[in-house]
Amino acid sequence: MNKSTKKYFLEKERKLSIHSYEELAALHAIAKILAQPTDLRDELEQVLQEMSSRLGMQRGMISLFDRDKNEVWLDIAHDVNIEGMDVTYKPGEGITGEVAQTGRPMAVANLGHAAHFLDRTGARRHLNRSELAFLCVPIMYDDHVVGVLSADKVAREVESLDKELAMLSAVAELMAKFVHIRALEEENKRLKKIVGSSRAPSVDIIGHSKPMQEVFGLVAQVADSNTTVLITGETGTGKELIARAIHMNSPRHKGPMVQVNCAAIPDTLIESELFGHERGAFTGALQQRRGRFEEANGGTIFLDEVGELSAAAQVKLLRVLQEKRFQPLGSSRVVNVNVRIIAATNRDLEQDIIGERFRADLFYRLNVFPIYLPSLRERGSDIILLADHFILKYGKEMGKNIKKISTPAIEVFLSHKWPGNVRELENCIERAVLLSKTDTIDVAHLPPSLHVNETKAEKKEHGKLSSVVEAQERSLIIDTLEATGGNQTKAAKMLGTTKRIIQYKITKLGINPKLFRKKGKDTNETL
C-alpha cells in the first residue's frame, strides 16, 4: 500500500471514529439509498427522510449552486412545502449563501439569536426559533461547492455543534456525486427553458453542429411569441424551412402561413399583391382580390427576399407594420389584420441602409429578433449528415438501395466550399443517386463543379498546410481515443463531431483504434 492510499484510509478511519453506532448505521442506510437504481430526486428525498428519522435533523434542505447565474437555489426539502416557491440566495447572502461562498460549514446554536438567518421558506415562522439549532455544510465535488445541505435540530438534543457538523458533512460527502449529477440535470433543464430545446424544430431540418444547435435554440425561444423575426443567411441555407418551423411551433400553427417572394413581384403589382384590390381599381382588375396580408390573418406571413423590395414598396410595407391595418387598392374599407411577420434575406441590409437601398426604419421594424443561418461550410460534420439524409430521400424516390458514400467522395464533400449551401448539396446527391449503379456514391457520380482544379503553386501551398493540419488532427484523435479506450462513439462526442467523420478520419490517417482498447476500461462501441 503506497503512502497516499494509506493516508486516505487513515483519514477515513479517523472520520468514522468520531461517529456513534447510531450515526454509522444512519450513514450505512443513506449509502444503501444512494446505491439504488431509482430516480435521483427520490433518492435525495429519502436521504433527508433518514436524516430526520435516524438523526433528528428536521427540515432538511438541499440547495444547488449555479455558477453561471452565481446563485444558490433550493431544490429539495423535507418537512417543508416548497411547491411553487422560488427560493434563491446570492453567494454570501444569509447562512446558506455564506456556506456556498466560503465552502466552510456553519452552525447556529440558537436560531432565535441569529439575525442573519433568512428563513425564506417561512418553515419556522410559527416555531419557537430559540428551541432550534441550525446546521449548514457545503456539498463538495471535485474540490468545488456544488450545493449546500442544511437542517434544524432541537437545541437541547445537541451536545456538540462540531460533532453535529461532522455528521452532516459525512452525509454531504456521501451524496456529493449525486448532487453534482442533479445540478447538471437541473442546469440542462434550465438552459432548455431559457434557450429552447436543442432538438431540431422540424423533421425537415437536419443538423447536429453547434451553429445549428444555436439556431434551434433561438427558434424554440421565439416561436411561442408574436415577435417579428428576420432570418438572414446565404442563398440555399434553408431560411424558408426555419420560417415554417417557427410558424408550426407557434400558437398560430392552425392558422395559415402565406409565403411571398418579394423579388418576384413587379413594383406595379406589389400593392395589389400584398393588400388586395377592388374590381376596376386598375386596368385588368376584373374582380375583387384579397391581398396576401388579409389571407394570412390569424397566421403568419413570410416575406422572403425582403431586401429586394423597391423603395416605394418599402414605404407601403412600413405603414402596415406600424398601423396593423391597410386599405385595399381602390377601396374605402379599412382591413385590420392579426398577422405574425417573418422576413428573410440573403442581403446585408445594414450595408444597404448605408447605400440608401433599404430604409432604416423598416429594417428596425423587421429586425426585432434576428436569426442568422450559418452557411454549410460553417457547419462541419453536418455535411455528411445531410448527405446521408438526401441519399435516403432520393434513394427511396428512385427505388435505389444506396448504402454509403465512398471515402474519396467524402473527402471531396468535406473539401468543397459549397457556395450553393444545402440546396447545392441536395442537387449534388440527387444527381449522384441517379447515376449510381451500385450501393455506393463514388467520386465519378459527383458533378464537375465539385472537382476543383488547383494550380501547381496552390497544390504546393495546400500540401504544406495539409501536412500540418493532418499532423494536428492525428495527434488530437489519438489523444481522444486513448482517453476513451478506443471508443469511437465517445471520441466523436468529445470532439464535437459524428462517428461517421471520426471513422473516415481514422481510415484516412491510418490510425488503428484497436491499439487503444487495452488502455481504456470501456471498449464497447455505441451502435
Residue 240 makes CB contacts below 8 A (sequence gap 6+) with 259, 302, 304, 344
Please give the grid coordinates belonging to residue 369.
429578433
Please give the grid coordinates belonging to residue 222.
421565439
56 with 181, same domain? Answer: yes
- On whether residue 527 sits in a domain, the answer given is no
Q: What stretch of H or E contains 41?
A: helix 40-55
- On whether residue 58 sits in a domain, the answer given is yes
* pTM of the full structure: 0.53
Per-residue pLDDT of the chain (527 residues; tens, 9 = 90+): 455 544 544 454 454 445 677 888 888 889 888 887 777 888 899 999 999 998 999 999 999 998 777 889 899 999 888 877 778 888 888 899 999 999 999 999 998 888 778 888 888 888 888 899 999 999 998 888 999 999 999 999 988 898 899 999 999 999 998 898 888 777 666 555 444 445 566 657 888 788 888 899 899 889 988 999 999 999 999 999 999 999 999 999 999 999 999 888 877 777 778 887 676 555 566 677 778 888 999 999 999 999 998 888 888 888 888 888 877 776 667 788 889 999 999 999 999 999 999 999 999 999 999 999 999 988 877 888 888 889 989 999 999 998 888 878 887 888 888 999 999 999 999 999 999 999 889 888 998 878 654 333 344 444 545 555 666 677 678 778 878 888 888 888 887 777 878 887 887 777 877 777 643 444 333 32
Task: Say which CATH number the domain at 230 has.
Answer: 3.40.50.300
284 with 177, same domain? Answer: no
Residue 486 makes CB contacts below 8 A (sequence gap 6+) with 513, 514, 515, 516, 517, 519, 520, 523
The answer to whether residues 285 and 240 touch, using CB atoms and an 8 Å cutoff, is no
For residue 33, give the 3-state DSSP assignment: helix
Q: Which domain holds residue 425?
A: 377-450
Residue 423 makes CB contacts below 8 A (sequence gap 6+) with 235, 236
Residue 189 makes CB contacts below 8 A (sequence gap 6+) with none
**Of 420, 450, 480, which closes a domain?**
450
- On whether residue 5 sits in a domain, the answer given is no
230 with 319, same domain? Answer: yes
C-alpha to C-alpha distance for 166 and 50, rounded to whole angstroms: 16
- On whether residue 165 sits in a domain, the answer given is yes
End-to-end Cα, the chain, rounded Å: 40
Half-sphere exposure for 467 (CA within 13 Å, toward CB): 5
288 with 183, same domain? Answer: no
Task: Say which CATH number the domain at 413 has.
Answer: 1.10.8.60
DSSP 275: H
Q: How many structural domains compose the chain?
A: 4
- On whether residue 16 sits in a domain, the answer given is yes
Phi-psi region of 103 (alpha: psi -120 to 50; beta: other; left: phi over 0): left
185 with 154, same domain? Answer: yes
Task: Say which CATH number the domain at 74 has.
Answer: 3.30.450.40
80 with 139, same domain? Answer: yes
- On whether residue 204 sits in a domain, the answer given is no
Distances, alpha carbon 147 to alpha carbons 54, 71, 140, 177, 351, in Å: 23, 10, 7, 11, 49
Residue 214 phi/psi, 5-degree rounding, is -65, -40
276 with 183, same domain? Answer: no
**Of 358, 374, 390, which closes a domain?**
374
Please give the grid coordinates belonging to residue 307.
431586401
E strands in 424-490: 440-441
- How much is the pLDDT for 275? 81
C-alpha to C-alpha distance for 250 and 223, rounded to whole angstroms: 5
Task: Say which CATH number the domain at 485 has.
Answer: 1.10.10
Task: DSSP for 353-386, please give it.
Answer: HHTTSS-HHHHHHHTTEEEEPPPGGGSTTHHHHH
Task: Write the burial class of residue 403 (CB in 10 Å: 0-12 exposed, 13-18 middle, 19+ buried).
Answer: exposed
96 with 141, same domain? Answer: yes
Best CA proximity match to 445, nearest among 492, 484, 489, 395:
395
How many other C-beta atoms are found inside a 10 Å radius of the C-beta of residue 324?
12
Residue 5 makes CB contacts below 8 A (sequence gap 6+) with none
169 with 25, same domain? Answer: yes
DSSP 497: S
Distances, alpha carbon 351 to alpha carbons 62, 148, 307, 332, 373, in Å: 53, 52, 11, 38, 18
**Of 374, 397, 413, which closes a domain?**
374
234 with 320, same domain? Answer: yes
- How much is the pLDDT for 12? 46
Distances, alpha carbon 391 to alpha carbons 96, 371, 412, in Å: 57, 28, 16
Residue type present at position 490: K
114 with 27, same domain? Answer: yes
C-alpha to C-alpha distance for 213 and 200, rounded to whole angstroms: 8
- How much is the pLDDT for 519? 38
463 with 317, same domain? Answer: no
DSSP 417: -
